[in-house]
Amino acid sequence: MAQVLRPLSQIFQQTDHPQILVGLSEPDDAAVYQLDAERAIISTTDFFPPVVDDPYDFGAIAAANALSDVYAMGGQPLLAINLVAFPDDLDKSLLTEILRGGADKVKEAGAVIAGGHSITDAEPKYGLSVTGEVSPQRIIRKSGAKVGDRLILSKALGTGVITTAHKRGIVDDEHLAQAVQSMARLNRNAAGLAQQHNVHAMTDITGFGLAGHALEMAHLGGVQFVIDIDKLRSLPGTLHYARQGVFPGGMQRNAGYYRQWVRLDTSLAGYQEALLYDPQTSGGLLMAVSPQSVDALLADLLESGEAAFALGEVAAGAGELLIRG
């Protein structure tokens, strides 16, 4: 991907655009454009094919996933634009439900859908282009983790495994329902609490899996992330399907690329290691928080209904991930 983006970084030099606080020169969850001393605009987009059969749930999940990048920067969504690809031969009532699910989630976020664009495609796809707002002084980037920080994740893992089990027709209905509930949950509350505590760095866990997104933060911060494998929490059913080898294809791609920067300081079963690379849809926020604030932040997250847990710490290093038992 870096090679693909290189021509853009050559055309748009950072020094020529000082209003771009976050952009191609230091990739993050979203771009940030400063308007004045007090306001900056966050811009992001995301869309994908259905991960569940129910069209309303798919719309809500896709919207929550797109909105999450604004929350990961510490901001609040303002407006969204629908992005739709839909086959000519499918019942348009399905699209109506997809859009209704997305609209309800945008409304829950306190934002508004202000337009959209659609094309005809062989496979349905849906998502949003989202504009948000943040104070330039309150942007939370991937790169700010400090040695000694503690790591918190606001949602349980396993959505890739469970949605793959769903596609294969072997998922338990209750397992799928709990995964849908997790994916459709906004990261709004978790992001708000991060702003109230001393969170130095943050990102949302999506397609690159826990390992991939943790490594992005570690690399940009010039530190090592240490994750305790026994502290990881997963959605009900995840371990059952993982032991059967039920993983999406993206798991192998993630492992093939990110494994070179992962060091195992414990013995893991194959499925345990694979879960580190399981692509997530609308996953939780991974936060690096000061040790003085970690207990209060975790307590507030749990009290407000988040499935949050502490999973490790930040150590001296150079963009690596250590997994210990």
Q: What is the 3-state secondary structure (H, E, C) of 116-136?
A: EEEEECCCCEEEEEEEEEECH
Choosing from 110, 137, 164, the residue where a domain stops is 137
Distance CA 189, CA 47 (A): 22
In sequence order, what are the beta bridge partners of 44?
Answer: 130
pLDDT for residue 294: 97
Distance CA 283, CA 307 (A): 11
> Mean pLDDT over all residues of the chain?
95
Residues 174 and 305 in one domain: yes
Residues 253-306 pLDDT 10s: 999 999 999 999 999 999 999 999 999 999 999 999 999 999 999 999 999 999
Domain count, the chain: 2
**Position 4 confidence tier, pLDDT thresholds 50, 70, 90:** low
Q: Taking a C-beta distance cutoff of 8 angstroms, is the pair 84, 116 a contact?
A: yes
Q: Taking a C-beta distance cutoff of 8 angstroms, is the pair 205, 273 a contact?
A: no
1, pLDDT greater than 70: no
Residues 159 and 128 in one domain: no
Residue 12's domain spans which residues? Answer: 2-137
Only one residue has tokens 């606001």, namely 154
Residues 164 and 288 in one domain: yes
Please state the separation of Cα 218 from the chain's center in Å. 16
2, pLDDT greater than 60: no
Q: Taking a C-beta distance cutoff of 8 angstroms, is the pair 26, 222 a contact?
A: no
pLDDT for residue 20: 85
201, pLDDT greater than 60: yes
pLDDT for residue 283: 98
Q: How much of the chain, in percent, has pLDDT values that exceed 90?
A: 90
CATH number for 122: 3.30.1330.10
Residues 112 and 166 in one domain: no
Residues 147 and 213 in one domain: yes
Q: Taking a C-beta distance cutoff of 8 angstroms, is the pair 209, 284 a contact?
A: no
Residues 228-252 pLDDT 10s: 999 999 999 999 999 999 999 999 9
Choosing from 114, 137, 160, the residue where a domain stops is 137
Distance CA 174, CA 235 (A): 11
Choosing from 94, 112, 137, the residue where a domain stops is 137
Residues 208 and 284 in one domain: yes
Only one residue has tokens 């490790």, namely 312
CATH number for 297: 3.90.650.10
Residues 68-111 pLDDT 10s: 999 999 999 999 999 999 999 999 999 999 999 999 999 999 99
Residues 279 and 294 in one domain: yes
Residues 166 and 268 in one domain: yes
Between 71 and 9, whose confidence is greater?
71
The residues near 93 (Cβ < 8 Å, ≥ 6 apart) are none
Best CA proximity match to 275, nearest among 162, 151, 153: 162
Residues 126 and 156 in one domain: no
